[in-house]
Amino acid sequence: MKRIALLLAALFTALPAPRAADAVPIYKTDEDFTEDPGMLKQAEALFSGGRALSVGEVRDQLGRTTCQLKLPEPKSPVLGGREIWEVARGAFLRIGYYFSCTDCEKWHLDLSGGFLITEDGAAATACHAVEPDKDLHKGCLVAVSDDGAVYPVKQILAASKESDVCILRVELPAKGRPLPLSEDARPGDPVYCFSDPMGERSFFSTGMVNRRTTRKSGNALPLMLNVSADWAPGSSGAAVLDDKGNAVGLVSTILALQDEGDEEDQAEPENPSRATWMVVHEAVGAQEIKKLIEPPEAK
């Protein structure tokens, strides 16, 4: 009997300990997380130390059209939902400005989505999320991880207003966890998105690819993906992932399909004839991100 007890003790000692419940964060939804004092203090230190790109420097560098990067190869094993959440969260960055508000004279953070595409800090986001407003003059561009660490954006590597893609360099304290880019997205494929829709922090949604399409943008016809995963303003630039943990695109636009109605109806937003019947979510395909990237020159 004693021997059986010892064997059982040894068996349970060898089993891996269960994962702690607090390893999965619990997010507060009753407050604006961008006003977190710790995040603001970190951003202020970057600005006062001149460590992050100023608004003027961003404007100057948005004209860059190509960069050289070594990208990770796309992954092929299919992952479970929990694994995809961890991959998406690990690569996720909030990208935006720490700026001086002309209305209240206080400093704020205005953040959109983004994600790492290389271990050494290259990240992708939507160009419209990075392009400064004309009345933005004093501030700097930063990146914020999901756990609230604030990093300086050091450089705009390449950008395209036509395809709504921007690639930038973030200074990280250690190797990051990037998402490989995959061009293999087809209608019916499952997709996922981790973002902050309308300030709802770290919202993870799923859907499928509805179709591949294009939209005329200047002289270009960038490849777009319509997907049924949910996002909203604040999600721009976040990754759209496949079920293998690859990024197949990034969040770009939202299109509300409404009845046109007549002129009298249009003057009354609450009129049922102006109802929104469907919302189309549009992502920039990973192909458009890769068009801005050249392989590094052989040494």
> In the predicted model, is pLDDT for residue 108 greater than 90?
yes
pLDDT of residue 270: 55
> In the predicted model, is pLDDT for residue 28 greater than 90?
no
Percentage with pLDDT > 70 across the chain: 87
pLDDT of residue 15: 36
Residue 4 domain-assigned (yes or no)? no
Residue 21 domain-assigned (yes or no)? no
Pairing of strands 247-258, 223-227: unpaired
Residue 240 domain-assigned (yes or no)? yes
pLDDT of residue 9: 40
> In the predicted model, is pLDDT for residue 114 greater than 70?
yes
Residues 6+ apart with CB under 8 A from 282: 213, 215, 224, 225, 226, 252, 253, 254, 255
pLDDT of residue 216: 86
Residues 6+ apart with CB under 8 A from 254: 231, 232, 233, 279, 280, 281, 282
Neighbour-count burial for 182-198, b at 16+ CB within 10 Å, e otherwise = beebeeeebbbbbbbbe
pLDDT band (50, 70, 90) for residue 218:
confident
Residue 41 domain-assigned (yes or no)? yes
Q: What is the mean pLDDT of residues 207-220?
A: 92
CA distance 83 to 78: 10
The pair of structure tokens assigned to 75 is 């992954």
Residues 6+ apart with CB under 8 A from 60: none
CA distance 187 to 211: 5
Residue 161 domain-assigned (yes or no)? yes
CA distance 93 to 152: 12
pLDDT of residue 60: 97
Residue 199 domain-assigned (yes or no)? yes
Give 258-278 pLDDT, tens digit per residue. 887 655 555 555 555 568 889
3-state secondary structure of 170: strand
Q: What is the mean pLDDT of residues 62-86?
A: 97
Residue 182 domain-assigned (yes or no)? yes
Mean model confidence pLDDT for the chain:
89
Closest CA to 169 of 298, 52, 290, 41: 52
The pair of structure tokens assigned to 104 is 């209240």
Q: State which amino acid sits at residue 216.
A: K
> In the predicted model, is pLDDT for residue 1 greater than 80?
no
Where helices occur in the chain by DSSP H, the ranges are 2-14, 37-48, 55-61, 81-91, 127-130, 263-266, 286-290
Give 223-236 pLDDT, tens digit per residue. 999 999 999 999 99
pLDDT of residue 260: 73
Residues facing residue 168 across a β-bridge = 123, 156
What CATH number did the domain enclosing 202 receive? Answer: 2.40.10.120
pLDDT of residue 171: 98
Residues facing residue 112 across a β-bridge = 95
* DSSP conformation class of 295: P
> In the predicted model, is pLDDT for residue 247 greater than 60?
yes
Overall number of domains in the chain? 1
Percentage with pLDDT > 90 across the chain: 77
CA distance 101 to 135: 10
Residue 15 domain-assigned (yes or no)? no
pLDDT band (50, 70, 90) for residue 11:
very low
> In the predicted model, is pLDDT for residue 287 greater than 70?
yes
> In the predicted model, is pLDDT for residue 126 greater than 80?
yes
Domain that holds residue 268: 33-293
